[in-house]
Amino acid sequence: MKKKALLLMLSASLILTGCKTIKITIEDDEDTQTTESAASANSESTTDTKEGSTETSESAIADDELENNDENITETPAAITIKNPSWDKFNNTGLNADDYPHLSLTKTKEESQDWLDTDVWCQKNGFEYQKLPYSDGTFTYMGLYPKDDYSCTALTISSESTGDILYYLDLYELCYGPDESGRYSQAVQDIQYAVMDDNANILYVSIMHNGYSSENPLSSHIVAIDLQKNEVIWRSEPLVSGLCNFIVDDDTIICGYGFTSEPDYIYLLDKHTGDKVDEISVKSAPEQFDIKGDTLYVATYNTAYEFTIQR
């Protein structure tokens, strides 16, 4: 795990330098100490002893070190730029949301307070706070800041089992434009969260503006990216996914949006088209979703909710 963490940190650091293809050699502390101890022992064994003299083969040591290094080399793939077809809602899949079943939610619990500490709420319910960077058990998602220090506009997706970087996606145009009509974002936007549908090779990404919708009314979307074609296949309506994670459950995406003095909602989207299939009003903006069994847990700014899921 130490090696994976170091690999991701070095990969992210090297990506920010602008290198497109990078070979990274990682040696963990235990391997280094073992090599140094072995080298010291071999050096001492070259002297004559009562049992005889032994000579160390320098070429054999070099071969061993080279073999060990080869095992720890990985390549960072070249960055893939994803174009922005349009800031408006669109669906290029040819699919219809009415052709798929969607879950529904029935509220069973609501607990309000002045302020809900989401970290404490997660610990109480046995959840991990899902935000970038994070791992879903299969993939590790890491947001990057290649253009500046305040806007996350690139994303790497790595294999949790091997630590290999599978995708390096440049989503700057999805955050800022231009789209095919030449329009640009009216305010700062960045990547908030991402989920991979490995079976369909589709990546879902929320791109949001942390501010009033009046500053950027065409913001806070979810987009679906076909990773075989490296293109966006749909974009949802704006203002459906803000400062929160989202969940893909069967054919439904559970997400939420809200901001100060603006309406706050949980939204259900069709995952094949991005169409909105339901909305539920809540007292404040959703900040975290999690599911246990048939229960959806929702933390908002000042209220904790539980919903029974009907599939």
In the chain, where are the structural domains located?
A: 1-31+59-76, 90-310
Fold of 90-310: Lipocalin (2.40.128)
Using CA atoms, how far apart are residues 311 and 294, in angstroms rounded to an integer? 9
Q: What is the pLDDT, as a whole number, of residue 38?
A: 38
What order do you get walking across the sheet with 276-281 strand by strand? 247-249, 252-257, 265-270, 276-281
Mean pLDDT, residues 121-148: 95
- Return the percentage of the chain with pLDDT > 70, whole number: 76
The whole-number pLDDT of residue 261 equals 87
Q: Are 236 and 242 in contact (CB under 8 A)?
A: no
Mean pLDDT (the chain) is 83
Would residue 239 be called left, alpha or beta, if left means φ above 0 and alpha means ψ between -120 and 50 degrees?
Answer: left
Among 45-54, 203-212, 226-235, 240-249, where is mean pLDDT lowest? Answer: 45-54
Q: In terms of Cα–Cα distance, which of 103, 68, 67 is closest to 296?
A: 103
Q: Please tell me the predicted confidence (pLDDT) of residue 132.
A: 97
DSSP codes of every residue in 154-195: EEEEEETTT--EEEEEE-HHHHH--BTT----SS--EEEEEE
The better pLDDT of the pair 88, 43 is held by 88
Q: How far is CA 202 from the centre of its chain?
A: 13
| Res. 260: pLDDT tops 50 | yes
Q: Which residue has the tokens 């073992």?
A: 34
Q: Per the confidence metrics, is the pTM higher than 0.85?
A: no
133, 203, 207 from 229: Cα distances, Å: 25, 12, 20
**What per-residue confidence (pLDDT) applies to 14?**
40
Nearest C-alpha neighbor of 95 from the set 281, 279, 271? 271
